[in-house]
Structure 1
Amino acid sequence: MAAKDYYATLGLSRTATEDEIKKAFRKLARKYHPDVNPGDKAAEAKFKEINEAHEVLSDKDKRSKYDKYGENWQHAEAFEKAGAGSRQYGGGGTPFEGFDFQQSGGSFGGAYAGEDVGDLFDQILRGGRRRPHRGQDADYEIEISLEEAYHGTNRMLTMQGAKPEKLEVKIPAGVTNGSRIRLAGKGGEGSGGGPRGDLYLVVKVSPNGRFERKDDDLFTTVDVPLTVAVLGGEVTVPTIKGTRLALKIPAETQNGKTFKLGGQGMPHLGKTGNGDLIVRMNVTLPTKLNDKEKELFNELAKIRPAGQAAS
């Protein structure tokens, strides 16, 4: 049975940075995820290999042990106590190199036939009892709209395994880019009677054409006719919840002026209350003037020549 090379699984060199490991994992996970390849057992197996490699290489302590002891990194303490720590296995070797586990009649027989070498060694150390291992944690990116982040939403996921499981996940109001939602016991299968790992949904909030988000505040721009900006009046402001509000602005409102509508922003995640909506004024000039309008602007130009300070 070929030794596992986690670096090769992710297509990386042994000098890969944490960022390179993360990028490689995300790229491969999207390609081989069971939701993208329903019913494809090869893709499902590849996805498990990718998860396993990422779970080890993304953890500094586990990676250090793996670089030293290869796929049997979990037995590092036992190896060091036994004096095996003087040798590095580089991800491709094994502390059992040099031992012949094959007999003339086939594979190593008895109760250990077909066992992984690491599991076999673990059983020897523990008097034949197989050590339980917790399953691997896994990340899964899920994209939602800004409106869904405001209201909260649900997603239906299909969990792959011996028995595929459909799971409805609630995404709370106020989530931000990078929010992680933990689904306990929904990750990789454990071994030796160990529990399953956890699944973490990593939220990605897609950009919105109307609103820009900064923390829990929202920013938007509304057009204001020149006459309203000069004389004062009302402008209509859209909100993320889908309603529209009337905002009174004073006379002589300048282009770029901002007004705050309290509590009209995003919900505070896990708390009460909302952020604010910041509204920027974009004063628009009239076009296609008729003769009367041109005459009035000419009169204004005579009263207030260009460059003249306000009296």
Structure 2
Amino acid sequence: MPTTFKDYYATLGVPRTATAKEIHSAFRKLARKHHPDVNQGDKQAEQRFKEINEAHEVLGDPDKRKKYDELGPRWQEYEQWERAGRPGPNPFQAGPQFEYRTVSPDELEDLFGDSAPFSDFFETFFGGGGARGFRAGASRAGTRRRPALRGEDVEGETEISLEEAFRGTTRTVELSENGHRKRVEISIPAGIQDAARVRAVGQGSAGSGGAGAGDLYVRVRVRPHPNFTRDGATLRTKVQVPLQTAIAGGTVAVPTLRGSAVHLTVPPGTQNGARLRLRGLGMPHVRGDGAGDLIAEMDVRLPVPVPEELRSWAEQAIRH
């Protein structure tokens, strides 16, 4: 029965001009998607996983890929040469041998038993433990192991107040994987920006074949505050200033995220909308020491009702 030709480039979804890096990247993406540990009991995914590994076994090896590319439409001639007992030198041999394997047939047998991990096409041209032009990789002679695939990263989101962002806080994230639940406590640093991500190394999905787990990334959303706005490490707030204080000078209380107000000196003749800077009372710097500044914007207010003496003073000032 003739062997069916396998288009390994189509299997991995890459062009024939693909680089080794592009081939390996496509393999990893597809292998994760169709891995038996992720698709337990899915026969179609199991078969697809075998095909993906077979394609990478050839295209991921420079010598095997060269031989595969050179065969082209002559692969049937090669099969006939094999069946004839290989008379004379191999007319299809391409270059020196090179041992490299990411997932070997033995490793696939650990996953699938005796259910033909590689196709007849592969066995015709590349199989047989190296008897047909390519030696098996070192993993065939060593300890059998499952393909090592790092676990997927997991992403989530949480919300905190501006006060929590100011002093730093923690959040507990609950994850579920394959019916198992676990809780992960993440530390949110003081000064964190809205939409920044916090990383918990090794707390993502479990890996396979002895590979490490992925990471957990939690995006932190900081709720708007009724009294403060933020620009990086700089905080801004409005402070009500009585007209008398704005004219004659004095002090006003300015709220801070520390929980207590500070007294700010207002110079005589302060205009409405004037901005005064309180250094070091803004948001902490996530990396490095110190903090930003707090900008207090003066909101000059007339007293209600307006005292008679103030009205008289204003009228005289207008006349002069």
TM-score (norm 2): 0.58
Partner letter of residue 149 of structure 1? A
The separation in 2 between residues aligned to 1:215 and 1:77, in whole angstroms, is 47
* Structure 2 residue 166 is the aligned partner of structure 1 residue 150: yes
* Structure 2 residue 26 is the aligned partner of structure 1 residue 65: yes
What does 1:231-310 correspond to in 2, within 5 Å?
231-303=248-320
Shift of the 110–274 alpha-carbon distance from structure 1 to 2, 3 Å rule, reads closer
Alpha-carbon contact 2:153-2:205 (below 8 Å) kept: yes
- Counterpart of 2:150 (choices 125, 134, 146) is 134
Partner letter of residue 237 of structure 2? T
Instruction: Note the aligned Cα RMSD (angstroms).
Output: 3.6
* Structure 2 residue 241 is the aligned partner of structure 1 residue 224: yes
Residue ranges of structure 2 left out of the alignment (5+ in a row): 1-20, 34-48, 70-108, 123-135
- Number of the residue aligned with 2:219: 202
Per-residue deviation at 1:75?
Answer: 7.2
- Number of the residue aligned with 1:173: 190
What does 1:27-46 correspond to in 2, within 5 Å?
none
The separation in 2 between residues aligned to 1:142 and 1:196, in whole angstroms, is 22
Per-residue deviation at 1:160?
Answer: 2.1
- Number of the residue aligned with 2:232: 215
Partner letter of residue 158 of structure 1? E
The separation in 2 between residues aligned to 1:249 and 1:62, in whole angstroms, is 68
Per-residue deviation at 1:78?
Answer: 3.1
Alpha-carbon contact 2:110-2:146 (below 8 Å) kept: no
Is 150-159 or 164-173 further displaced after alignment? 164-173
The separation in 1 between residues aligned to 2:300 and 2:260, in whole angstroms, is 23
Per-residue deviation at 1:178?
Answer: 3.2
* Structure 2 residue 112 is the aligned partner of structure 1 residue 112: yes
- Number of the residue aligned with 2:57: 78
The separation in 2 between residues aligned to 1:176 and 1:243, in whole angstroms, is 23
Q: Deviations over 1:192-247 (max 9, x none)?
A: 23221111122221221211111111111111111111111111100011110110
The separation in 2 between residues aligned to 1:114 and 1:222, in whole angstroms, is 78
- Counterpart of 2:200 (choices 167, 170, 183) is 183
The separation in 1 between residues aligned to 2:170 and 2:302, in whole angstroms, is 44
The separation in 1 between residues aligned to 2:168 and 2:252, in whole angstroms, is 29
Shift of the 133–234 alpha-carbon distance from structure 1 to 2, 3 Å rule, reads same
The separation in 2 between residues aligned to 1:190 and 1:176, in whole angstroms, is 31
Partner letter of residue 210 of structure 2? G
Is 71-80 or 205-214 further displaced after alignment? 71-80
Q: Deviations over 1:254-302 (max 9, x none)?
A: 1221111111011111322111111111112334335444333222221
Shift of the 290–263 alpha-carbon distance from structure 1 to 2, 3 Å rule, reads closer
Alpha-carbon contact 1:69-1:76 (below 8 Å) kept: no
Q: Which has the larger radius of gyration?
A: 2
Partner letter of residue 200 of structure 1? Y
Shift of the 253–74 alpha-carbon distance from structure 1 to 2, 3 Å rule, reads farther
Shift of the 63–176 alpha-carbon distance from structure 1 to 2, 3 Å rule, reads farther
Q: Give the 3-state SS of the residue equivalent to 2:171 in structure 1.
A: strand
- Number of the residue aligned with 2:86: none
Q: Give the 3-state SS of the residue equivalent to 1:164 in structure 2.
A: strand
The separation in 2 between residues aligned to 1:156 and 1:112, in whole angstroms, is 39
Q: Give the 3-state SS of the residue equivalent to 1:160 in structure 2.
A: strand
State the number of aligned residues.
218
Partner letter of residue 147 of structure 1? E
The separation in 1 between residues aligned to 2:261 and 2:163, in whole angstroms, is 15
Q: Give the 3-state SS of the residue equivalent to 1:299 in structure 2.
A: helix
The separation in 1 between residues aligned to 2:297 and 2:249, in whole angstroms, is 15
Shift of the 114–221 alpha-carbon distance from structure 1 to 2, 3 Å rule, reads farther
The separation in 2 between residues aligned to 1:224 and 1:236, in whole angstroms, is 9
Residue ranges of structure 1 left out of the alignment (5+ in a row): 1-59, 87-108, 304-311
TM-score (norm 1): 0.59
Alpha-carbon contact 1:239-1:264 (below 8 Å) kept: yes
Alpha-carbon contact 2:150-2:211 (below 8 Å) kept: yes
The separation in 2 between residues aligned to 1:221 and 1:200, in whole angstroms, is 36
